């Protein structure tokens, strides 16, 4: 069927901010959908609150609303834009949920909007547990055996059927919380009693546990003609019990016979037909009993998902793009496969390599979080690698994670262990214990278990990792041991000669080195095992095995059956290289690798813009990245894509094949920046700002010299190599101080310390201060306003593109605070001063490209906190706020174009205000504190844009899922230092008609100043206390600021409860001040929305 002509305008809903479980993959899918629908001639109306997305670039959709994704806002868009159709399947759960509410409130009907892709009934059938279960049973697909019970007798009789372990869940508790796994009768009875008591309806669900079953995912595509194809079967390395987003996953499925796979495929087809997803991609998860092959369906996502992005990148089949085409009426056989150009999309990719995805976690940033993997997803990013075998792909994926592990290293000091060596029995117990725990480190502990010869049966029993995977790990360990063994034999013979020359002095021994590379060992890991340098390994290989160097293979969807036209490549050590580099003028762009806190989608956005800019200039672009979620790893984003780890060895390999005119390291965050020096040493030209300038900005001493030379100020600071020295430095600098170890990035272990006693405590708990890594101590500027500046320079002119005033005070990580562009309170003369200083810094550093400076303003003093001569997290936000594609311009400047020629010498005057707000993963990581501090913990950001600060802030809060109340009760409990600031807030709230409650101290202070405040108990003061009020939802907003560490703990339940109840809370005075301004604005005028294209008319 050809495409539909009855549709003209289509609304697409994005997924909002990056949160755990919804990351860049929805920018990838949304961007593909926007591009595709536009190419097909439709007008695309888009809503997404996340400015750091490619999809919200003003030229991707026709009308781009960077507005909160709420029913109210989307309804307004429907009213304003009158689209005929809404495509709800590209924006994750966010888009599905808002679509469901729109339907339920009759708004789709009211505005005559048709759902395409999946209709309400289909979404509901897939999402509603009971409806899904019923649907599965009508088509003969098994679901986990479960029964609702209302008393213990029924529970006991059902236990006879499900057996142990059994899952007991109270019904209808908030957020599905409270599930327990019972392993024995006593536990079972206890959990059942508890569940019946906890459930508001006195009902509990008893469910058969599938823990330890094998887990699979199928990506399914269906068109309006009922053609169905499976894009890829994915097998989880981690068995059931660990969320698939937190599992290591592998494509294709490794341990399914054809009979088992076809049975799963048949079930998947029946499921998508029964659920009734009309078109597009769905993801279906299955569990398989390893003992007898029993198959159970776990769930279905009736939309494009994280796994779809993974399957797309794993196979080269562009799921989102094709899903968009199917949604407007095309059938699979009408769509050409871009890669082969001769075959159609109605086929099933077959792959001749192995894909491994490994999640990346950030538990270290969340004190109180529980680093145990469960069915609640906790990872913040992922890396993917391709190799000719599982072993190769797995080892590449390990180093792609960038967690300072160059492979399957030992976490227990067993790197040099060989069977027969002495082994401490406590060590072997430690490995055994570590293996039991579903911790992100488990694969490494399994390797250690194999090193010390713990049987695979025992490891399987402890981990449920399929024996096939254990075998693969064992092969790696055995190979290492073979190498070590050889090395030991030769070590005796070496007298001053090189280990490598001795070790590999015969053709048979050289085979060993070839095998090592084929198995995916990095030079760094080999160097570690053989006690030489990675460079020595590389040089040795080049000298002795020139014919066995790295080769690149193409991802072609068809296992080489047809010729591939799409240059999507991965490295391996094979027989021939398919890279086919051109002689064109070309530039390599290094991406940002897996998402992590502090380095996420913003950098991918910049990298994509770099390729777009170079394309406009006719320069060939080559992307290197290993994050499967991203737009940058789409095969049509750049001219060639190398899906490779972003580590020195793999990046240098690409450089040697491609020989580019230069490499871009300033757009992908810290990851490529770290590679600047090794690349420069290898003779690869670094485009833009020189590595030396980067070093001047990053090296503490050189930076101080720079500041002094320019006559600027920075906070007093010093470095200490011992406790005593630290106390001396701190007292010279003056308390409070900010302390951090020098080698960590992204604010890790950074803390504000108020007195010497706390400093002693800090040093005690962070015993990482060594001579090599001194402790850094900076003056903490109290009550200072922090300002972020993004500037761009071509080496001659400097344009200060955006000055952002933080809402929260200095000391809170810039990535975690809200900010406003233009500044909402700074006086003009200070803004000018900041601008002048920025220009001076850029000139002195000879910045070519982007630069970010962080300032603190204390009174009338301006301090320079940090200079980063690279793209910053705020580049996309500033670009969207001022309507200028900064990253693109910077890229053009970096290849020699002047800002004057690019017509960018000044920032356009805007009449609106844009507010950026951060989004946090607190609800997902256990009992962590929500207080903001110098360590960054946000996963994503949103933008609110409007005519005034109040509305812009209000929108930013709504976009971050905080709905500011218009009436009701406000509970306040603030530290002494904040009490004066509370008075104004309280007065304004009272004027707005809110009822005020406060804890004793705060209440007394406000009462004295003539405010009408009711006193409430703190938790320690007896009941009912303020947490009871929050639990009963008797408060509509909570203000809680704290000073000392002990008060942190006392007040933690307040903040946690507000978080759990989804009641807006503010932990800084500046935050609540902004919120009050927002509430005032909302009361004064009503919501207006405007697309980006109207804010920045061309």
Partner 1 sequence: MAWNVISSPLMGEDEGEGMTKKAILALADGTVLEGRALGFEGEASGEVVFNTAMTGYQEILTDPSYKGQMVLMTCPHIGNYGISPEDNESRRTWAEGFIVNEASRRPSNWRSELSLHEYLAHHQIVGIEGIDTRFLTRHLRTHGSQAGIISHGAGVNGSPDDLVAKAKALPSISEQDLVETVTCNSTYEWNEGTGAWPQRLNASGQVDPVPARRFHVVVYDFGVKQNILRRLVDEGCTVTIVPASTTAETVRTLNPDGVFLSNGPGDPEGVSYAVPHIQALLGWRPIMGICLGHQVLGLALGLSAYKLKFGHHGANHPVMDLRSGKVEITSQNHNFAVRLPSAEEHKSLLETPWGSFQATHVSLNDQCLEGLVGTTVPVLSVQYHPEASPGPHDSSYLFNQFRTMMEQAHA
Interface ranges with partner 1 (CB under 8 A): 138-141, 225-227, 229, 233, 252-263, 265-267, 270, 290-293, 331-333, 342-344, 346-354, 388-390, 456-457, 460, 466-468, 471, 475, 478-479, 482, 515, 519, 553, 558-563, 574-576
SS3 at position 834? helix
Give the sheet arrangement for strand 114-115, strand by strand: 63-65, 43-47, 9-13, 85-87, 114-115
Eight-state DSSP code of residue 596: B
Please, are residues 23 and 629 in contact by the beta-carbon 8 Å criterion? yes
What are the Cα distances from residue 163, in Å, to 158, 203, 556?
8, 20, 47
| Biggest distance spanned by C-alpha atoms of the chain | 91
Record the tokens describing residue 241, joined without a space: 């019990």
Min dist CB 267 to partner 1, Å, is 8
The residue (of 157 and 336) whose beta carbon lies closer to partner 1 is 336
Closest CB to partner 1 among 259 and 1023?
Answer: 259
- Cα 1083 versus chain centre, distance: 36
Encoded tokens for 514: 């070839």
Q: What's the closest the beta carbon of residue 93 comes to partner 1, in angstroms?
A: 28
Instruction: Identify which of residues 193 and 475 has a Cβ nearer to partner 1 in the complex.
Output: 475
The residue among 172 and 468 lying less far from partner 1, judged by its C-beta, is 468
Instruction: Name the burial class of residue 793, with classes exposed (0-12), middle (13-18) and buried (19+) by CB atoms within 10 angstroms of its CB.
Output: buried
Residue placing its CB nearer to partner 1 in the complex, 198 or 225 = 225
Return the closest-CA partner of residue 254 out of 238, 235, 228. Answer: 235
Residue in the block written with tokens 């050289």: 510
- Tell me which DSSP letter residue 763 carries: H
User: What are the percentages of helix, strand and coil residues in the chain, rounded to 5?
Assistant: 40, 20, 40
Question: In angstroms, what is the minimal distance from the CB of 344 to partner 1?
Answer: 5
Non-local (6+) Cβ contacts of 589 within 8 A are 607, 610, 611, 621, 622, 623, 624, 632, 638, 663, 664, 667, 668
What is the closest distance, in whole angstroms, from the C-beta atom of residue 505 to partner 1 in the complex? Answer: 17
837-854-849 Cα angle (round to 5): 70
Give least dist CB 213 to partner 1, A. Answer: 12
Nearest to 503 by CA among 519, 522, 484: 484
Identify which of residues 557 and 627 has a Cβ nearer to partner 1 in the complex.
557
Q: Between vectors from CA 1062 to CA 1058 and to CA 1064, what angle results, nearest 5°?
A: 70
Residue with structure tokens 């823990």? Answer: 211
Token output for 483 = 């190498």
| Least distance to partner 1, CB of residue 934, Å | 47
Q: How far is the CB of 506 from partner 1 (least distance, A)?
A: 13
Nearer to partner 1 (CB atom), residue 45 or residue 339: 339
Choose among 873, 905, 877, 910: nearest CA to 889.
905
Smallest gap from residue 481 Cβ to partner 1 (A): 9
Tokens of 119: 């209709």
Of the two residues 653 and 1073, which places its CB atom closer to partner 1 in the complex?
653
Nearer to partner 1, 224 or 491 (CB): 224
* CA-wise closest residue to 1076 among 959, 973, 991, 1005: 991
- In terms of Cβ atoms closer than 10 Å to its own Cβ (0-12, 13-18, 19+), residue 1 is exposed
Query: 191 vs 504, which CB is nearer to partner 1?
Result: 504
Nearer CB in complex with partner 1: 572/611: 572
Reported residue count of the chain is: 1098
3-state secondary structure of 154: helix
Residue with Cβ nearer partner 1 (473 or 812) = 473
CB of 122 to partner 1, least distance (A): 17
Q: How far apart are the first and last CA of the chain?
A: 37
312 — phi, psi (to 5°)? -65, -50
Question: Under DSSP, is residue 404 helix (H, G, I), strand (E, B) or coil?
Answer: coil
> Shortest approach of partner 1 to residue 784 CB, angstroms?
58
- Sign (positive or negative) of CA dihedral 1074, 1078, 1080, 1081: positive
Nearer to partner 1, 512 or 710 (CB): 512
Sheet holding 751-753, edge to edge: 717-720, 775-779, 737-741, 751-753
Q: How far is the CB of 249 from partner 1 (least distance, A)?
A: 16
The least CB distance from residue 269 to partner 1, in Å, is: 8
**CB nearer partner 1, residue 291 or residue 771:** 291
Write the DSSP symbol of residue 495. Answer: S
Three-state secondary structure string covering 356-387? EEEEECCHHHCCCECCCCCCCCCCCEEEEEEE
* Closer of 186 and 576 to partner 1 (Cβ): 576
E-assigned strands of 252-402? Answer: 280-288, 295-301, 354-360, 381-387
**Judged by CB, which is closer to partner 1: 256, or 847?**
256
Residues 6+ apart with CB under 8 A from 547: none
Residue 465 Cβ vs partner 1, minimum distance, rounded to whole Å: 11
User: Rounded to the nearest whole angstrom, what is the least distance from the CB of residue 223 to partner 1 in the complex?
Assistant: 9
Shortest gap between Cβ of 134 and partner 1 (angstroms)? Answer: 13
Task: State the minimum distance, in angstroms, from the CB of residue 141 to partner 1.
Answer: 6
Tokens of 540: 């040795």
Nearest to partner 1 of 332, 1074 (CB atom): 332
Question: Residues 214, 236: contact at Cβ < 8 Å?
Answer: yes
Min. distance of Cβ 694 from partner 1 in angstroms? Answer: 40
Helix (H, G, I), strand (E, B) or coil at 963: coil
What minimum distance in Å lies between the beta carbon of 341 and partner 1? 12
Closest CA to 611 of 554, 672, 668, 565: 668
**CB closer to partner 1, 485 vs 770:** 485
């Amino acid at each position: 069927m050809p495409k539909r002509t009855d549709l003209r305008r289509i609304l697409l809903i994005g997924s909002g901010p990056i949160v755990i479980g919804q990351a860049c993959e929805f920018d990838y899918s949304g961007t593909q959908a926007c591009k595709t629908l536009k190419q097909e001639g439709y007008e695309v109306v888009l809503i997404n609150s996340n400015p750091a997305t490619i999809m919200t670039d003003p030229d991707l959709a026709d009308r781009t609303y960077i507005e909160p994704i709420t029913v109210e806002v989307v309804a307004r868009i429907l009213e304003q834009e009158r689209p005929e159709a809404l495509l709800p399947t590209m924006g994750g759960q966010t888009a599905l949920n808002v679509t469901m509410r729109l339907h339920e409130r009759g708004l789709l009907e009211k505005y005559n909007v048709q759902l395409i892709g999946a209709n309400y009934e289909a979404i509901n059938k897939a999402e509603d547990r009971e409806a899904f279960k019923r649907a599965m049973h009508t088509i003969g697909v098994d679901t986990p055996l479960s029964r609702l019970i209302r008393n213990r007798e029924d529970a006991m009789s059902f236990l006879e059927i499900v057996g142990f372990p059994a899952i007991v869940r109270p019904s209808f508790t908030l957020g599905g919380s409270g599930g327990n796994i019972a392993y024995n009768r006593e536990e079972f009875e206890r959990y059942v009693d508890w569940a019946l008591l906890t459930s508001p309806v006195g009902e509990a669900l008893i469910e058969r546990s599938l823990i330890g079953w094998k887990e699979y995912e199928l990506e399914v595509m269906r068109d309006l003609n009922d053609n169905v194809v499976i894009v890829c079967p994915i097998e989880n390395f981690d068995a059931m019990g660990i969320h698939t987003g937190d599992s290591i996953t592998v494509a294709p499925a490794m341990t399914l016979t054809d009979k088992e796979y076809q049975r799963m495929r048949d079930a998947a087809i029946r499921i998508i037909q029964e659920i009734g997803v009309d078109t597009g991609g769905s993801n279906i998860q299955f569990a398989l009993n390893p003992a007898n092959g029993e198959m159970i369906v776990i769930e279905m996502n009736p939309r494009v998902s994280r796994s779809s992005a993974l399957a797309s990148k794993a196979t080269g089949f562009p799921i989102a793009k094709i899903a968009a085409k199917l949604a407007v009426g095309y059938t699979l056989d009408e769509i050409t496969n871009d890669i082969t150009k001769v075959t159609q999309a109605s086929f099933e990719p077959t792959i001749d390599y192995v894909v491994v995805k490994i999640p990346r976690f950030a538990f270290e940033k969340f004190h109180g979080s529980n680093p145990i993997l469960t069915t609640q997803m906790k990872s913040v990013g992922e890396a993917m690698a391709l190799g000719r075998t599982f072993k190769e792909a797995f080892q590449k994926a390990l180093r792609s994670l960038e967690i300072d592990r160059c492979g399957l290293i030992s976490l227990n000091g067993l790197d040099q262990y060989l069977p027969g060596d002495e082994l401490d029995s406590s060590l072997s117990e430690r490995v055994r214990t570590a293996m039991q725990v579903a911790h992100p480190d488990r694969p490494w502990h399994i390797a250690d278990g194999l090193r010390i010869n713990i049987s695979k049966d025992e490891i399987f029993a402890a981990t449920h990792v399929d024996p096939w995977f254990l075998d693969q790990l064992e092969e790696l360990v055995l190979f290492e041991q073979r190498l070590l063994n050889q090395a030991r034999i030769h070590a005796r013979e070496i007298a001053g000669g090189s280990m490598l020359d001795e070790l590999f002095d015969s053709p048979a021994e050289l085979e060993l080195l070839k095998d090592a590379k084929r198995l995916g060992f990095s030079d760094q890991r080999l160097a570690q095992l053989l006690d030489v340098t990675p460079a020595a390994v590389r040089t040795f290989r080049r000298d002795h095995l020139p014919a066995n160097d790295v080769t690149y293979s193409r991802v072609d969807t068809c296992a080489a059956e047809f010729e591939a036209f799409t240059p999507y490549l991965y490295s391996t050590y094979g027989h021939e290289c398919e890279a086919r580099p051109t002689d064109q003028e070309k530039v390599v762009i290094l991406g940002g690798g897996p998402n992590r806190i502090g380095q996420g989608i913003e950098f991918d956005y910049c990298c994509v813009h770099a390729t777009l800019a170079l394309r406009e200039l006719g320069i060939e672009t080559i992307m290197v990245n290993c994050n499967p979620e991203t737009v940058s790893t789409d095969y049509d984003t750049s001219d060639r894509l190398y899906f490779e780890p972003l580590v020195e060895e793999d990046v240098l390999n690409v450089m040697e094949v491609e020989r580019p005119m230069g490499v871009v390291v300033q757009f992908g965050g810290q990851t490529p920046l770290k590679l600047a020096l090794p690349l420069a040493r290898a003779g690869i030209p670094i485009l833009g700002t020189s590595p030396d300038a980067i070093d001047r900005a990053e090296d503490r001493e050189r930076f101080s010299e720079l500041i002094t030379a320019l006559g600027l100020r920075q906070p007093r600071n010093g470095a200490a190599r011992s406790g005593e020295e630290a106390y001396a430095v701190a007292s010279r600098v003056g308390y409070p101080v900010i302390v951090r170890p020098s080698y960590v990035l992204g604010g890790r272990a950074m803390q504000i310390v108020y007195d010497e006693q706390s400093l002693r405590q800090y040093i005690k708990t962070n015993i990482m201060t060594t001579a090599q890594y001194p402790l850094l101590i900076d003056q903490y500027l109290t009550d200072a306003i922090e300002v972020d500046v993004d500037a761009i320079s071509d080496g001659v002119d400097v344009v200060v593109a955006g000055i952002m005033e933080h809402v929260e005070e200095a000391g809170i990580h810039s990535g975690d605070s809200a900010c406003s562009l233009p500044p909402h309170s700074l006086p003009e003369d200070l803004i000018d001063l900041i601008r002048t200083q920025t220009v001076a810094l850029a000139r002195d550093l000879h910045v070519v490209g982007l630069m970010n400076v962080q300032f603190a303003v204390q009174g009338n003093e301006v301090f320079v906190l940090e200079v980063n001569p690279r793209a910053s997290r705020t580049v996309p936000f500033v670009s969207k706020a001022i309507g200028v594609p900064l990253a693109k311009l910077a890229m053009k400047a970096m290849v020699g174009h002047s800002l004057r020629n690019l017509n960018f010498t000044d920032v356009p005057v805007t009449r609106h205000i844009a507010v950026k707000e951060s989004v946090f993963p607190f609800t997902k990581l256990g009992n962590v504190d929500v207080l903001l501090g110098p360590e960054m913990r946000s996963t994503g950001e949103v933008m609110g844009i409007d005519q005034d600060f109040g509305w812009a802030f209000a929108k930013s809060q709504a976009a971050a899922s905080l709905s500011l109340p218009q009436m009701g009760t406000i509970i306040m409990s603030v530290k002494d230092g904040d009490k004066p600031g509370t008075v104004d807030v309280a007065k304004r709230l009272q004027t707005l008609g809110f009822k005020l409650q406060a804890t004793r101290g705060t209440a007394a202070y406000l009462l004295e100043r003539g405010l009408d405040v009711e006193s409430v108990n703190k938790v320690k003061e007896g009941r009912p206390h303020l947490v009871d009020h929050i639990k009963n939802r008797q408060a509509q907003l909570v203000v809680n600021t704290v000073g000392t560490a002990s008060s942190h703990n006392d007040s933690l339940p307040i903040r946690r409860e507000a978080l759990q109840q989804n009641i807006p809370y503010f932990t800084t005075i500046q935050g609540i001040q902004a919120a009050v301004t927002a509430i005032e604005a909302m009361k004064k005028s009503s919501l207006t929305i405007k697309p980006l294209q109207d804010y920045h008319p061309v």
